[in-house]
């Protein structure tokens, strides 16, 4: 019988892409989402791509323990992928209590309910933010984590520790934390993608919205950094590649291939790309001119971060495959499809 994976936050950007890849790999999926930062666009897109109209969907808030517990009563869950969280760095600085409550309580509830239902395999969506401004690049999973510069970042570090400690104390719970670098792009079908509410914080949605005319001008935050062209370096990982890393990690847990009860993997490409290079590549591959200007640095940005992906490549048997050109073309196709809706 197919194993069932609960995807919390499954109607969102990363969750919807992961749901598609889980079905493609033969898993059953249950989606839970409180719809606090998305609408039904991506969930409907997932149904179209997979041809599955019957995906179990729980519109619940994972901060509601009774609701999470009921879900575990009703469904036999073999693994959980936990995405349900707030993710805006700036907002977390302004509203720390809201971020700590939401991101920590929801994860505690998932773990508690899993434990009370005989245990589970738990995959936590962490972030390269835990490395801060790392001294040595690229970062490996052994690179020390640095104190986070935002409550959002703190919740990632704390949830990693909560998972590690829970695994240590609970024989029936196994855990993997995936540390994402910068997820970008959309599904090749252009049926699912990133849907930021309001003004996008992240680079690629701001680029595509500028290209389509929703925003007047992109600001490149700083060109006086100590890098070759003066703009920041990041490791942009294609969303479908990222989704496939989740399938690889879940299979590793479900097939009993973990080497330790709690494992961590970087999920990136291993290639640093500057903001300027990304903007240039977007213009080139989509054959357009972007309205942009150089603006002051954005407070809190690290100069450079990219992943050493050796561990994920070797242990998960996973590797990023799509080129940055394919990814940027997919982001633009998605933005155009939204304009047509
Ligand atoms: N940038 C611009 N203009 C913009 C938006 C971003 O120049 O309008 C630049 C940023 O300064 C940065 C790069 O583009 O150099 C990438 O910025 P993003 O906001 O897209 O991504 P970040 O690397 O800042 O953020 C990511 C994740 C966060 C995570 C953070 C820290 O989105 O969840 O990394 O690791 F917290």
Work out the average pLDDT over 120-140: 97
pLDDT at 222 over 90: yes
Strand partners, 234: 273
CA dist list (Å): 128 to 82, 181, 229: 17, 5, 23
Which atom of ligand 1 is closest in space to residue 206's alpha carbon? 8
Please name the residue that has the structure tokens 């036999």: 76
pLDDT, averaged across the chain = 97
**Domain 203-233+271-306+326-336, CATH homologous superfamily name and number:** UDP-galactose 4-epimerase, domain 1 (3.90.25.10)
Which atom of ligand 1 is closest in space to residue 219's alpha carbon? 3
Give the residues surrounding ligand 1 with Cβ less than 6 Å away. Answer: 87, 89, 127-129, 152-153, 182, 201-203, 206, 218-221, 232, 234, 275, 298, 301
319's tokens = 């590797």
Q: Whose CA is nearest to atom 14 of ligand 1?
A: 203
Please name the residue that has the structure tokens 């090749």: 188
pLDDT of 79-92, one tens digit each? 999 999 999 999 99
C-alpha 187/C-alpha 242 separation (Å) is 11
Q: Ligand 1 test: best mutation among 298, 306, 307, 327, most atoms within 8 Å of CB?
A: 298
According to CATH, what is the number of the domain 4-186+238-269+308-322? 3.40.50.720
pLDDT of 243-287, one tens digit each? 999 999 999 999 999 999 999 999 999 999 999 999 999 999 999
pLDDT at 341 over 80: no
331's tokens = 């982001």
pLDDT of 28-79, one tens digit each? 999 999 999 999 999 999 999 999 999 999 999 999 999 999 999 999 999 9
* pLDDT at site 260: 98
Q: Is the pTM of this model over 0.95?
A: yes
Q: Answer yes or no: 13 catalytic.
A: no
pLDDT of 294-308, one tens digit each? 999 999 899 999 999
Distance 289 CA to ligand 1 centre (A): 21
Which atom of ligand 1 is closest in space to residue 150's alpha carbon? 36
Domain boundaries defined on the chain: 4-186+238-269+308-322, 203-233+271-306+326-336
Residue from 13, 99, 131, 152 carrying the catalytic annotation = 152
Q: How confident is the model at residue 340 (pLDDT cuts 50, 70, 90)?
A: confident
Q: How confident is the model at residue 180 (pLDDT cuts 50, 70, 90)?
A: very high
Residue 234, Cβ density class (10 Å: 0-12 exposed, 13-18 middle, ≥19 buried): buried
C-alpha 155/C-alpha 100 separation (Å) is 6
Render the burial of 99-133: b for 16+ CB within 10 Å, e for the rest: bbebbbebbbbbbebbbebeebbbbbbbbbbbbbe
Q: For the chain, where are the alpha helices, taking DSSP H only?
A: 13-24, 41-50, 65-74, 89-94, 96-116, 151-169, 203-212, 239-254, 275-286, 310-311, 324-339
313's tokens = 């490549």
* pLDDT at site 307: 98
* Domains 4-186+238-269+308-322 and 203-233+271-306+326-336 equal at CATH topology level: no
């Amino acid at each position: 019988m197919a194993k069932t994976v609960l995807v919390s936050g499954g109607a969102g950007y990363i969750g919807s892409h992961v749901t598609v890849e889980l079905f493609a790999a033969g898993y059953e999926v249950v989606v839970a989402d409180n719809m606090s930062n998305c609408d039904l666009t991506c969930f409907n897109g997932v149904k179209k791509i997979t041809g599955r109209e019957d995906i179990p969907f729980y519109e619940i808030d994972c901060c509601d323990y009774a609701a999470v517990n009921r879900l575990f009563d009703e469904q036999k869950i073999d693994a959980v992928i936990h995405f349900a969280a707030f993710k805006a760095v700036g907002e977390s600085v302004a509203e720390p209590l809201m971020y700590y409550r939401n991101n920590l309580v929801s994860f505690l509830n998932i773990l508690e309910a899993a434990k009370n239902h005989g245990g589970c395999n738990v995959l936590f969506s962490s972030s390269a933010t835990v490395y801060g401004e790392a001294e040595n690049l690229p970062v490996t999973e052994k690179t020390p984590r640095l104190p986070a510069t935002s409550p959002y970042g703190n919740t990632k570090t704390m949830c990693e520790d909560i998972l590690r400690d829970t695994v240590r104390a609970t024989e029936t719970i196994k855990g993997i934390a995936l540390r994402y670098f910068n997820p970008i792009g959309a599904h090749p079908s252009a049926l699912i993608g990133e849907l930021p509410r309001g003004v996008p914080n992240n680079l690629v949605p701001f680029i595509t919205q500028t290209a389509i005319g929703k925003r007047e001008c992109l600001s490149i935050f700083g060109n006086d950094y100590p890098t070759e062209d003066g703009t920041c370096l990041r490791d942009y990982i294609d969303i479908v590649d990222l989704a496939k890393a989740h399938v690889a990690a879940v299979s590793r847990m479900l097939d009993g291939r973990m080497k330790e009860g709690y494992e961590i993997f970087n999920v990136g490409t291993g290639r640093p790309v500057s903001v300027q290079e990304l903007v240039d590549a977007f213009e080139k591959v989509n054959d357009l001119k972007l309205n942009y200007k150089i603006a002051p640095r954005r407070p809190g940005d690290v100069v450079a971060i990219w992943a050493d992906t050796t561990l994920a490549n070797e242990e998960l048997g996973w590797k990023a495959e799509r080129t940055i050109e394919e990814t940027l073309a997919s982001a633009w196709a998605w933005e155009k499809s939204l304009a047509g809706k």
